[in-house]
Amino acid sequence: MAKRKKKLDEREEANQILGHDPFEDVDLAWMDREEGELSIKALGHDPLQDMDVGWIDQEQEERAPDMAQEESQVVLEDTETEPLPMRAAAPLLEQAPAVVERPIPPQPLEVLQPEPLTVVTPGPTDGPEATFHFPADFKWGVATAAHQVEGRNIHNDWWNWEQTDGHIKQGHKSELACDWWVNAEVDFDRAAAMGLNSLRISVEWSRVEPRPGEFDESALERYSQMLQGLRERHIEPMVTLHHFTNPSWLAEQGGWENPETIALFARFVRRTVEVLGQHCDLWCTINEPNVYGYLGYLEGTFPPGRSDFGAARRVIRHLLSGHAAAYREIHALQPGARVGFAHNMNPFDPANPRSPLDRRVTRIADQAFNQSILTALARGRWTLPLGFRLAWKLRRTLDWIGLNYYTRDLVAFDHTQRRTLFGRRLHADDAELLDGGYGEFYPQGLFRCLRRLARLDVPIYVTENGIPDHDDDQRPRHLLAHLHQMWHAIQLCYPVMGYYHWTLVDNFEWAEGWTLRFGLIALDPQTQARTPRRSADLYAEIVQANAITPHAIDTYARELRSELLPG
């Protein structure tokens, strides 16, 4: 009751500010074309109010009282919460006033075309010294995806998409990418030299099953070889089974919009795990259903280039059902497997926190992009905008959750932005921006997302985090600041088990082509020459010390000293 009163007040306030009710003429019935069960129209004439998460929960609790009671403790919103109860001894911030620990310098990386690196010698420090340690068994890795690194993935929908002018910036193509299909091992050597103990790759469905039901054993053999190669280098593989690309034959029959794809994906997963299961038990079923749905079916910058809200919802639901089906297939074959999926989370904040409209569209953006997927997996129910029904099959299908974190957005109400549920995304005037308008430099967002995921009470891996930074002028500071946020989360006993930096070597960045460079190591795609950036040395130093040391801060981002080591 009090909540409803607050909303009415907010709406009146909005009326006063704008001089009219902005939602009066807004008809959101288009949002609900397929969802026969409950029409948006039946919800009254204030559709944005009805998008509120609280309303959805209330509605669904009435429909499924038992389940609601059982799970009423699950709180997943991005609000201030108490730290979790202690589960394990947290690694301590070790004060080292007298002797400054110097990590063993990283092994030099093999450089094909080295450029002279700027050597920064830290001067004497007069501030306090402290080392931020990570847990002994922490996984330090890098993440990649098949299409972005393998080269010549000619049987998938992305290859086809790249052939049309206007789809990829500057007409770029993936071509040979990083040539991993032929020689991933040169980069595995680099990863090993840096001291990494895990690496996230993906299996390309179109290589394994180039025609429906026909499995290419030689492709599976190549993946086996790669996984063995990682094991030989003491690098644990994490294998993603779907990272944005689909076999062309699958795309032609409707891709993930077609519900039959769920069973077809399960069949591909079964065959792949039968063969690769001897080298891997850490599986990531699907990468970023929300990004896939948003870019492919709303913004239209990924294949199939659609702009259809209903289709986007269906596709995300099918991807999540595909995740659940894959989870069961993998566990049937490998009872001890650890299976999760990678969720892209983007914190949203109101552009003007005093504006009720901005606050409302911010909540909607959060619900649509971040929360609806978590609710589906944690509570087994679809919530808006994904749907209304129960989603029982999704329950208990997470052994861990992966977080892909890059940036946050401010959201302002804009009645013209119907496609993005009336929210216009923008950045604060004083925000430090990343290359190519990729977003805001905002390390605290990593902590905020980890805090929220910790409520799921399953292990968390940061399955992606990185920055497009061609000249590496922000990446060292970015890396240190983000890892420090993660360290902070671990101190609060949030169960963060590993971190996978995106990425080792510059790779084909989807619709951005080669214009955005995320690599710790620079790549010239024409010559395949690799040149480590300073950040590669920094990451190696952190990984080998299993800690952020004052030496690393002073050498690579001295300007962070006052923030990370306040006196």
Site of interaction with ligand FCB (CB under 6 A): 145, 287-288, 291, 344, 404, 464, 502, 509-510, 518
Helix spans in 195-308 (H):
205-208, 217-232, 248-252, 260-276, 289-297
Angle at 561 between CA 558 and CA 565, to 5 degrees: 155
Burial class of residue 397, CB neighbours in 10 A (0-12, 13-18, 19+): buried
Give least dist CB 506 to ligand FCB, A: 11
Name the residue nearer to ligand FCB (CB basis): 261 or 344: 344
**How many CA atoms lie less than 13 Å away from 469 in the CB half-sphere?**
28
State the Cα angle at 359 between 489 and 433, rounded to 5°: 60
User: Which DSSP symbol is given to 371?
Assistant: I
The least distance separating ligand FCB from the CB of residue 344, rounded to whole angstroms, comes to 5
Smaller CB separation from ligand FCB, 360 or 448: 448
Q: How far is the CB of 338 from ligand FCB (least distance, A)?
A: 20
Contact 187, 226 (CB under 8 A): no
Q: Is 118 exposed, middle or buried (0-12, 13-18, 19+ CB in 10 A)?
A: exposed
Both tokens of 18, joined, read 């704008």
Which tokens is 276 given? Answer: 């690769």
Cβ(351)–Cβ(410) under 8 Å?
yes
> Which residue from 423, 384, 425 is spatially nearest to 407, judged by alpha carbons?
425
Q: Is 460 helix (H, G, I), strand (E, B) or coil?
A: strand
Nearer CB in complex with ligand FCB: 160/407: 407
What are the C-alpha distances in Å from 102 to residues 38, 95, 131, 282, 409?
A: 63, 14, 10, 33, 38
Q: Closest separation between CB of residue 502 and ligand FCB, Å?
A: 5
Q: Residue 422 or residue 442: which is nearer to ligand FCB going by CB?
A: 442
Residues 367 and 376: their CA atoms lie apart, in Å, by 12
Give the nearer residue to ligand FCB in terms of CB position, either 329 or 464: 464
Q: Give the integer Cα–Cα distance in Å for 33 and 51.
A: 16
Nearest of 463, 467, 310 to residue 400 by alpha carbon: 463
For the beta sheet containing 409-413, the strands, ordered from the edge strand earlier in sequence to the opposite edge, are 348-350, 409-413, 423-426
Q: Which is nearer to ligand FCB, 509 or 537 (CB)?
A: 509
In 343-492, where does DSSP find H-type helix? 356-366, 372-379, 444-454, 475-491
List Cβ neighbours of 176 (8 Å cut-off, separation of 6 or more). Answer: 151, 152, 525, 528
Q: To the nearest whole angstrom, how small is the minimum distance from the Cβ of residue 140 to ligand FCB?
A: 19
The residue type of 380 is G
User: Toward ligand FCB, which CB reaches closer, 265 or 292?
Assistant: 292
Cα angle at 40 between 38 and 43, to 5 degrees? 90
Q: What is the Cα–Cα distance from 488 to 479, expressed in whole angstroms?
A: 14
**Smallest separation, CB 291 to ligand FCB (Å):** 5
Least distance to ligand FCB, CB of residue 23, Å = 32
Residue least distant from ligand FCB (Cβ): 145
Q: Which is nearer to ligand FCB, 261 or 287 (CB)?
A: 287
Q: Quote the CA–CA distance of 178 and 244 in Å, as a whole number.
A: 18
We find the least distance from the C-beta atom of residue 269 to ligand FCB, in angstroms, to be: 19
Report whether 465 contacts 423 (CB < 8 A).
no
Identify which of residues 287 and 321 has a Cβ nearer to ligand FCB in the complex: 287
Give whichever of 344 and 535 is closer to ligand FCB, judged by the CB atom.
Answer: 344
Minimum distance, C-beta of residue 144 to ligand FCB, in the bound complex (Å):
8
Instruction: Note whether 523 and 178 are within 8 A (CB).
Output: yes
- CB nearer ligand FCB, residue 150 or residue 288: 288
The structure tokens listed for 292 are 């896939």
Min separation Cβ 253 and ligand FCB, Å:
24
Q: Which is nearer to ligand FCB, 375 or 404 (CB)?
A: 404
Could you tell me the smallest distance in angstroms from the CB atom of residue 498 to ligand FCB?
16
SS3 522: strand
User: Based on CB atoms, which residue is closest to ligand FCB, 518 or 539?
Assistant: 518
